[in-house]
Structure 1
């Protein structure tokens, strides 16, 4: 009989993340949005920062969190991501004041490419050949 790892499969959802990870990630997303909106950053790359925090993925042990962000208009994204990663200690300090976790997670920031992927899928679906397949009736086959 195969031995099951401790905690494996418990409350795990199809994406491989537990309900707790999703709940904490969503709470952190809201907190990060507030921190980034009200943040008083010294870094010139983060002056007048306007970003959307689209998702926060947290590790199973809740010690590491990756925040996916999209700068308004997508301009200067690499510079903003680098600035956010430099300011992660300050952001962590501010976030910890608003969340009740035993250990404050270390934050890393990445550019969210899901909008680009959605636009690519939309373009594919609008191609004439694909459109013709989609418009076919199931009886036409």
Structure 2
């Protein structure tokens, strides 16, 4: 079963890795941040070794996005982001796992202080929804 893990983050200021720009993360001690970074590296290694990580990418600043819609029967292109919001999509990881329970276990390990992480099943191919 394939799932996408969506990482949402505050766009101001924008940068990667996104936790480095979150007040909740900055309030942690250097030792706590180092431990979290090491744990995340270990998670990515585990997922690669298990063959569960398909891909992942960080996304650019939402202010650089372009929106494509239809208006008056023709395409209309405007500057992004899609909406004025406190959080924007910062990146994603595509995983291929045996069950929803495993996907949820992995996603829990992706979240950290001040972050919002969304788990969503793929519809096809290899998705169940």
Q: Fold-level match, TM-score > 0.5?
A: no
Task: Please identify which structure carries the higher strand content.
Answer: 2
Q: Which has the larger radius of gyration?
A: 1
User: What's the TM-score once normalised by structure 1's chain length?
Assistant: 0.28
Q: Which has the higher contact order (CA 8 A, sep 6+)?
A: 2
User: What's the TM-score once normalised by structure 2's chain length?
Assistant: 0.30
